[in-house]
Structure 1
Amino acid sequence: MTKPPKPKPLLQDADKPVRSRPRKPRNPAQPNLLLEPMPDRVEPCLALLKARPPKGDDWVYEIKWDGYRLSVHVEPTRIRILTRGGHDWTDRFPAIQQAALWLPVGTAILDGEAVVLDEQGRTDFGLLQQSLGGRGGKKSSSDAIFMAFDLLYFDGHDLRDSELDMRRHLLEDLVPAGEQGDIRLSEEIEADGDQLLASACEHGLEGIIAKRRSAPYRSGRLGDWVKVKCILSDSFVIIGYERSTVARAGIGRLLLAARKGKKLVYVGGVGTGFNERNAYELREQMDKLIIGKPAIDTGRKRNAVFVRPELVAEIEYRAWTQDGKLRHASYKGLRERQDDAAVYEIA
């Protein structure tokens, strides 16, 4: 297959690719560790959303990738590719599976993101969905690549209690910087956090991730990893749509909801971001879920069709209004149920 272009370098000369910091000498005591059982699955470490990058020598930065969070398990007799929710998607990513077979390791668990890059080398969630056949599709993607950013298990050793620096050192041995295969290294970037964020936004990227060098790998959203976005992007439940005689597939505007405790709360709508293909796919999905009354109060709506709150959409937006509605929202695509994407929660 034709490889997607490499992302544009940030904060460096155009002819010099981004590189991680120089490797530290390998700890000679590492090979003497006792062998430990390989976990069947690891709940992912999740990034906490912040408005600004954290400061200090204990923080390192990476580009934020816009795709599906996956873990690649290299086992003695097979490769397994698991979604964030623990679903086996090995057959959906045959190119990543093949690349994992070629890794110079007996057993390993790599944490990372499956992405598809556009012509400018930026991740595009919509292109990733199309390559998989849309929400609920069963296609295999030969265009997706895996951006590896952590190593949780390596040749009989569970690395989750090790500091990030140690895990990255071993990962960079396994997936060298600059390689352009179907498994690539998500490289750390030495830079001022604010300057890197500004450069990422200037290049049209989604944002950056900051990670604490000294932290072990802890499952959940505990603050060891922080994400800072150029444009806000979150998942919301679709509760209906407003009809239109001129819009694609008759969808004038999607009606959206967020979670507040155990309830759903109406947060406004989105009427942009659709193309011919995803609009008709979305309409087909919604037509299977039509109900007579709205699942939650949306206020008075003309020409509205309400659906069971089962579909989750990824939405870009600029801000929130004072009355709790999304501003300048744009539709990006439907989230897969197996992706286990968290619906936005209102505090």
Structure 2
Amino acid sequence: MTKPPRKRSKPLLGEADAPLRSRPRRRRDPAQPNLPLDPMPDRIEPCLALLKARPPRGDKWVYEIKWDGYRLAVHIEPAGVRILTRRGLDWTHRFPLIEAAARALPVSTAIVDGEAVVLDERGRSDFGLLQQSLGGRGGTKRSSNAVFIAFDLLYFDGHDLRNSELEVRRHLLEDLVPAGGQDDIRLSEEIEADGDQLLASACEHDLEGIIAKRRDAPYRSGRLGDWVKIKCVQSDSFVIVGYERSTVARAGIGRLLLAARKGNELVYVGGVGTGFNERSAAELREQMDKMIIGKPAVDTGRKRNAVFIDPKLVAEIEYRAWTHDGKLRHASFKGLREGQDNADIYSVD
């Protein structure tokens, strides 16, 4: 996708033509006063994007491409690098290339917020390819082709940046991870454009959508509206409650039966019978057949050849719309979510 030209931001600190870079630690001169430093947080709950139908308007918003992968926080410390999932689990060993790239960044301490993705041949993030690189749901493989897309900087050389405006954090991030790089840690570049036009262009290039962020907002954990996501195609997480057998479909799976949350309960929202390949269907069948239960967890209506399972598997599903009776339309299976990813199950009113 062709991006509008963007003026390079100048460093916040130092001379105008000298990009900001961290320097190796030195012993402090006792004659100099101690500068106040912020303790490095052990973990930060991520800022989450609120789903909207249309991009927000106005100069206070900036835009980025929406990436489809696993949300991660990369912690760079004197003792080494930690890569934490959204739930706070240590997945450093799962992403050795990202770990090595983080060690090479010119900084002593930092927390970088971003997304681990695997890119297809057209440079688009593909959640299914990422799952394959990790060995599928519950797999233990180390990804050999995932890259980290950095989009925020929360801690930098002893200073907690969460109370700083997004523009301030972005200035520092762009000096740490320069735009246009092709290393295993890359910058999610801001795009100066009309939100509606950018969304149309993203959809035309088969991207998942865009993210809008308030340029003057601090970093606040949770889904508070400082970040907004606008999708080209709806994509959400649903619980698998069973499947329908088939004598002709891959691995004998005709359709997966899906449920969403409604309050503290689950409610049936239809099925999905496309999006599988031989490998994903076989892996699904193997996992589901270990979880068979006698009584369905939700009322799915009368189903022929249905097998019901314990509702513990979470699937990422693309769909176009909802039917009048609350069922998914034109649904397609994208992959299983990791339990450690702590994905939000779709909630219906």
Same fold (TM over 0.5): yes
Q: Does 1:38 align with 2:40?
A: yes
Contact 2:83–2:90 (8 Å) recurs in 1: yes
Tell me, what secondary structure is at the counterpart of 2:325?
coil
Work out which of the residue numbers 142, 145, 148 in structure 2 matches 1:143: 145
Measure the CA separation in 2 of the matches of 1:116 and 1:312: 20
Q: Does 1:10 align with 2:2?
A: yes
RMSD: 1.4
Measure the CA separation in 1 of the matches of 2:177 and 2:221: 23
Give the number of the structure whose alpha-carbon radius of gyration is greater.
2
| Structure 1 position 27, deviation (Å) | 5.0
Measure the CA separation in 2 of the matches of 1:20 and 1:257: 43
> Counterpart in 1 of 2:191?
189
Work out which of the residue numbers 99, 102, 127 in structure 2 matches 1:100: 102
| Structure 1 position 34, deviation (Å) | 2.2
Q: TM-score, normalised by structure 2?
A: 0.93
Measure the CA separation in 2 of the matches of 1:247 and 1:67: 28
Measure the CA separation in 2 of the matches of 1:130 and 1:157: 37
Q: How does 1:269-308 map to 2 (within 5 A)?
A: 269-308=271-310
> Counterpart in 1 of 2:83?
81
| Structure 1 position 278, deviation (Å) | 0.3
Tell me, what secondary structure is at the counterpart of 1:130?
helix
Deviations 1:134-172 (A, max 9, x none): 000000001000000000000000000000000000000
Measure the CA separation in 2 of the matches of 1:332 and 1:49: 19
Contact 1:21–1:190 (8 Å) recurs in 2: no
Cα 1:131/1:174, change in 2 over 3 Å: same
Contact 2:76–2:108 (8 Å) recurs in 1: yes
Contact 1:10–1:196 (8 Å) recurs in 2: no
Cα 1:246/1:33, change in 2 over 3 Å: farther
Tell me, what secondary structure is at the counterpart of 1:200?
helix
> Counterpart in 1 of 2:8?
22
| Structure 1 position 48, deviation (Å) | 0.2
Work out which of the residue numbers 58, 61, 73 in structure 2 matches 1:59: 61
Unpaired stretches in structure 2, ≥5 consecutive residues = 15-19, 23-33
- Following TM superposition, the consecutive aligned residue runs of length 4 or more in structure 1 with deviations greater than 3 angstroms are 30-33
Deviations 1:301-330 (A, max 9, x none): 110000000000000000011110000000
> Counterpart in 2 of 1:154?
156
Number of equivalences:
332
| Structure 1 position 26, deviation (Å) | 1.4
Deviations 1:185-229 (A, max 9, x none): 000000000000000000110000000000000000000000000
| Structure 1 position 35, deviation (Å) | 0.6
Cα 1:253/1:33, change in 2 over 3 Å: farther
Cα 1:238/1:152, change in 2 over 3 Å: same
Tell me, what secondary structure is at the counterpart of 1:199?
helix
| Structure 1 position 20, deviation (Å) | 4.6
Amino acid at match of 1:88: D
| Structure 1 position 21, deviation (Å) | 3.7
| Structure 1 position 33, deviation (Å) | 6.6
Cα 1:159/1:33, change in 2 over 3 Å: farther
Measure the CA separation in 1 of the matches of 2:242 and 2:136: 19
Q: Does 1:261 align with 2:294?
A: no
Measure the CA separation in 2 of the matches of 1:329 and 1:323: 15
Measure the CA separation in 2 of the matches of 1:193 and 1:21: 18
Cα 1:20/1:140, change in 2 over 3 Å: farther
Contact 1:235–1:314 (8 Å) recurs in 2: yes
Work out which of the residue numbers 128, 131, 149 in structure 2 matches 1:129: 131
Contact 1:236–1:314 (8 Å) recurs in 2: yes
Cα 1:33/1:217, change in 2 over 3 Å: farther
Measure the CA separation in 1 of the matches of 2:7 and 2:73: 24
Q: How does 1:218-229 map to 2 (within 5 A)?
A: 218-229=220-231
Measure the CA separation in 2 of the matches of 1:23 and 1:33: 27
Tell me, what secondary structure is at the counterpart of 1:295?
coil
Measure the CA separation in 2 of the matches of 1:218 and 1:261: 25
> Counterpart in 1 of 2:25?
none
Work out which of the residue numbers 52, 61, 73 in structure 2 matches 1:71: 73
Measure the CA separation in 2 of the matches of 1:123 and 1:341: 18
Contact 2:81–2:99 (8 Å) recurs in 1: yes
Unpaired stretches in structure 1, ≥5 consecutive residues = 1-8, 13-18
